[in-house]
Structure 1
Amino acid sequence: IRPLVKTEDTENTAALSRDHTIHIAHSGLMTICGGKWTTYRRMAEDAVNHAAMLGQLEERPCPTRNLRIHGHCEEAENLGDLWIYGSDAYPIRDLIRQQPDLMEKIHPDLPYTRAEVAWGVREEMARTLEDVLSRRTRALLLHAQGAIDAASGVANLMAKELGKDAEWVDKQVQSFCAMASRCLPNERGVS
């Protein structure tokens, strides 16, 4: 979902600009609209610069323009399948060294390991099976049936990490499978 800025002369979304705009209300309220995830820093810089100008504040260079955000890693190509985690790939590798069973994939047809599940729970606040299989990994998107098949094993690993019981596991698996089953193809495509 992208918040597009519609102008009066634009008829369809394909013609809408992906650029951001800044509006100043008569009250002085400044609103920034539109933009893209990949330009959020530029949007913030423009908004701060605009507010500084309106407030007649001293002009200063943007300190975050070249700031490396969490996860930045110069050697991403050396990280294998964990490249997506950037610098967090190193502690995930440490998890695998400490617990070799975490290197096991959650499903043979999915690229995700048990270590990624453990990392999501321990470090990224993943608290539901749906969160892990739909967002922390893209298991549901890549292979809905594989995600359903992996649900019980992933929920059991999460329960161990979170100190949850078998009832929690059952509820998580039932809830996830009910939701995920809507992503399976049927005779008309996907339901």
Structure 2
Amino acid sequence: QAGVRYCSNQPPRTDALAVVAGLRPLAAPTGNSNKTTENSRRHMVSVSDSKLLTATGGKLTTFRRMCQDALDKAVKIGCLHQKESRSATQDIYSAIPTSDRSNHMYIYGADQEMINALDQENPEWNEKLIPHLEFKKAEVVWAARNELARTVEDVLSRRVRMLFLDAKAAIEAAPNVAKILAQELEKDEDWQNDQITHFQNVAKNYILK
């Protein structure tokens, strides 16, 4: 609704392929106040009497700073030795330099080659999950073997993220995902059907009514 004010050609509701709302955890204010407006939007690092460190609040995009502050606090209370922080320049797992983001597989970094090589084990895995999106069957296999994906929702919500891009497409892809997972996890047809039904019920909440 807000976006249409800035578009010369106003998008219809049918252009909204998925909707999502999230809850942001906020660190509670000190004292007896119950006003949420006083909750800090930043993260907080607290220390218990037993020297247990707890990081609360914050958000995923500031995870490096959250970790750095937690480690600095651990140094301050004598749990760790002082060392120079490398967080700002430390690459995450499988990171490789890339400027080409035309192929969605770039998000896998160095693992991309191993995912693409799965079609040597089974050529069918090089096929798309559904015709109009680029996600491949090999990504489901990879998620099951290397990313602890155990359900259709795991794959379509938390691995390839198709649910957040196009909820109806994710519903369409669910049977293919369930079949591949069943093969990888040695599950039966009843499990597949339960997985498909469960995911359909979840995905309906992401479709704009």
TM-score, normalised with respect to structure 1: 0.77
Matches of 1:58 and 1:171, distance apart in 2: 51
**Which residue number in structure 2 is paired with residue 123 of structure 1?**
146
Matches of 1:46 and 1:117, distance apart in 2: 36
Classify the secondary structure of the residue corresponding to 1:77.
coil
Matches of 1:132 and 1:58, distance apart in 2: 40
Matches of 1:25 and 1:66, distance apart in 2: 31
Give the letter aligned to residue 114 of structure 1: K
**Which residue number in structure 1 is paired with residue 70 of structure 2?**
47
**How many aligned residue pairs are there?**
185
Q: 1:33 to 1:160 in 2, by over 3 A?
A: closer
Q: 1:12 to 1:114 in 2, by over 3 A?
A: same
Question: Shift of the alpha carbon at 1:40?
Answer: 2.0
Q: Does 1:77 align with 2:100?
A: yes
Give the letter aligned to residue 25 of structure 2: P
Q: Does 1:99 align with 2:113?
A: no
> Would the aligned equivalents of 1:79 and 1:89 in 2 still touch at CA under 8 Å?
no
Matches of 2:123 and 2:198, distance apart in 1: 30
Question: Shift of the alpha carbon at 1:24?
Answer: 5.0
Q: 1:28 to 1:165 in 2, by over 3 A?
A: closer
- Larger RCO, structure (CA 8 Å, separation 6 or more): 2
Matches of 2:207 and 2:101, distance apart in 1: 35
Classify the secondary structure of the residue corresponding to 2:91.
coil
Q: Does 1:3 align with 2:48?
A: no
Give the letter aligned to residue 140 of structure 1: L
Question: Shift of the alpha carbon at 1:10?
Answer: 11
Classify the secondary structure of the residue corresponding to 2:44.
strand
Matches of 2:176 and 2:80, distance apart in 1: 57
Matches of 1:39 and 1:178, distance apart in 2: 32
Question: Shift of the alpha carbon at 1:117?
Answer: 1.0
**Which residue number in structure 2 is paired with residue 22 of structure 1?**
45
**Which residue number in structure 1 is paired with residue 206 of structure 2?**
183
- Farther off after superposition, 92-101 or 157-166: 92-101
Can you list the C-alpha shifts for 1:66-94, whole angstroms capped at 9, x where unaligned?
A: 33221211236278220111221111111
Classify the secondary structure of the residue corresponding to 2:89.
coil
Matches of 2:204 and 2:36, distance apart in 1: 33
> Would the aligned equivalents of 1:102 and 1:115 in 2 still touch at CA under 8 Å?
yes
Matches of 1:99 and 1:34, distance apart in 2: 44
Give the letter aligned to residue 133 of structure 2: L
Can you list the C-alpha shifts for 1:10-38, whole angstroms capped at 9, x where unaligned?
A: 9665x865433334567766543332222
Matches of 1:63 and 1:137, distance apart in 2: 29
Give the letter aligned to residue 2 of structure 1: R
Structure 1 alignment gaps of length 5 or more:
none
When the two chains are superposed, the root-mean-square deviation of aligned CA atoms in Å is 3.0
Q: Does 1:156 align with 2:156?
A: no
Structure 2 alignment gaps of length 5 or more:
1-22
